[in-house]
């Protein structure tokens, strides 16, 4: 498939740096089995802790625009919610998918949710 996916958020809950018991790691670890490259961006977490605990090298800064085939909003940090679907899609390719795990974006602005 060779797709590139951006996962927004790694923390256990929104607006918090706590990585303990995060279930987002399950999503991130499952995707490479489908020949998908996964980037993770979370402005709240300690990147060194994410690497130590989960072996993840999360992005150090805002993701590059126009890069991703799909974006998964996994944690509803206020920064992501404030961007809205349009702002989040800035990081995606023109024909991409936005999946909202937390159901915080308007249903007509996304491609799927839990």
Give the C-alpha separation, 86 to 57, whole Å.
26
Backbone angles phi, psi at 113, to 5 degrees: -160, 165
Fold of 3-113: Rossmann fold (3.40.50)
**pLDDT number for residue 95:** 93
Q: Mapping DSSP to helix (H, G, I), strand (E, B) and coil, where does residue 82 land? A: helix
State yes or no: pLDDT of 1 exceeds 70. Answer: no
- The residue extents of the domains of the chain are 3-113
Give the tens place of pLDDT for each residue, 38-80: 999 999 999 999 999 999 999 999 999 999 999 999 999 999 9
């Amino acid at each position: 498939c060779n797709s590139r996916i951006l996962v927004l958020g790694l923390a256990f809950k929104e607006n918090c740096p706590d990585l303990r018991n995060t279930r987002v790691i399950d999503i991130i670890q499952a995707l490479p089995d489908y020949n998908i490259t996964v980037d993770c961006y979370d402005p709240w977490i300690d990147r060194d802790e994410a690497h130590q605990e989960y072996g993840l090298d999360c992005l150090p800064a805002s993701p590059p625009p126009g890069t991703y085939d799909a974006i998964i909003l996994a944690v509803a940090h206020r920064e992501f919610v404030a961007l809205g679907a349009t702002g989040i899609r800035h990081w995606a390719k023109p024909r991409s998918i936005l999946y909202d795990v937390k159901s915080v974006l308007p249903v007509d602005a996304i491609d799927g949710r839990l």
